[in-house]
Amino acid sequence: MPQIITNAIVLRRADYRDNDRMITLFSPTLGRIDALCRGCRRQKSPLMAASELFCAGEYVLYTSRERVTVVSCQVTDTYYGLRADYEKLSHGMYALELCAAAVQPDQENERLFLLLLRSLAHLCYGDVPPRRVTAVFLMGFVSLLGFRPQVARCARCAEPVLPSRAPEGAPAASFDPETGGVICPACRAGETCRLSESDVLYMQAIMKTGLESLKSPGECSDELFEALRKMAEARVDMPVRSGKLLV
């Protein structure tokens, strides 16, 4: 069909010619869509907001000769508040870039779409530290790509990981970004990310309740956050440049 109506969010944008812009949309039913937004950079253009990063809404698209053009957009949210806070903005950009690397054309992924929108809403409107929001997003992201992190049992021997059994003063476990799982003390062999008891329980809570875990107290350590980043970036198999901006 030449005309398409779909909910979507802008993942990327690039100025094109004098007043146009190429945008990459993420649709929950159609996957990645590369579309031309004509005249959107003109002053008072009705498509100006529709061509900005983070813009989510109902897009009307027209297809002709394999080219997709934005006809109109009923904006539902622009997450404008992210632009007023560098830390929140950098975490939001990171989530967009991960999705842009993972989502494929004609690939339905409604759950990832909803995870992205809900994570951006927490970043923009919530008071939870951005690092905690991104940690939940990263674990959900890799799960929806088919690489569910193993946090209840050792990723090597499959024995239950019980933090309270670790020797006093010793790490409760470690985390291997390559396998995407927690490693028990008995199987630990050179992993640089050592997890405390609170780290293990924190990850287990995320896997049980997802973004609902943000309602409870918790903290994502620097070491664990870097391990989660490495795990997610390994799954998309490409460098994520905005990761360097995270604080």
pTM, two decimal places: 0.92
For a pLDDT cut of 90, what percent of the chain falls above it?
A: 65
pLDDT score for 54: 98
CA dihedral (217, 224, 122, 138) positive or negative: negative
Provide mean pLDDT across the span 22-32.
97
pLDDT score for 1: 55
Are 123 and 82 in contact by the 8 Å Cβ rule? The answer is yes
pLDDT band at 247 (very low <50, low <70, confident <90, very high): low
Between 116 and 173, the more confident residue is: 116
Q: Where are the domains of the chain?
A: 1-127, 133-238
Kindly list the distances between the CA atom of residue 153 and the CA atoms of 141, 184, 246, in Å, as whole numbers in the listed order.
Answer: 20, 8, 30
- pLDDT tens digits, 148-176: 999 988 888 888 887 655 555 556 788 88
**How buried is residue 168: exposed, middle or buried, by Cβ count under 10 Å (0-12/13-18/19+)?**
exposed
Provide mean pLDDT across the span 205-222.
91
* Fold of the 1-127 domain: OB fold (Dihydrolipoamide Acetyltransferase, E2P) (2.40.50)
Kindly list the distances between the CA atom of residue 97 and the CA atoms of 46, 159, 179, 200, 240, in Å, as whole numbers in the listed order.
Answer: 26, 35, 22, 27, 7
Calculate the dihedral angle through the C-alpha atoms of 155, 131, 99, 22, rounding to the nearest 10 degrees: -160
Identify the H or E element spanning 67: strand 67-77
Instruction: Tell me the average pLDDT of the chain.
Output: 91
The length of the chain in residues reads 247
Q: Is the pLDDT of residue 192 over 80?
A: no
For a pLDDT cut of 70, what percent of the chain falls above it?
A: 95
pLDDT score for 219: 86
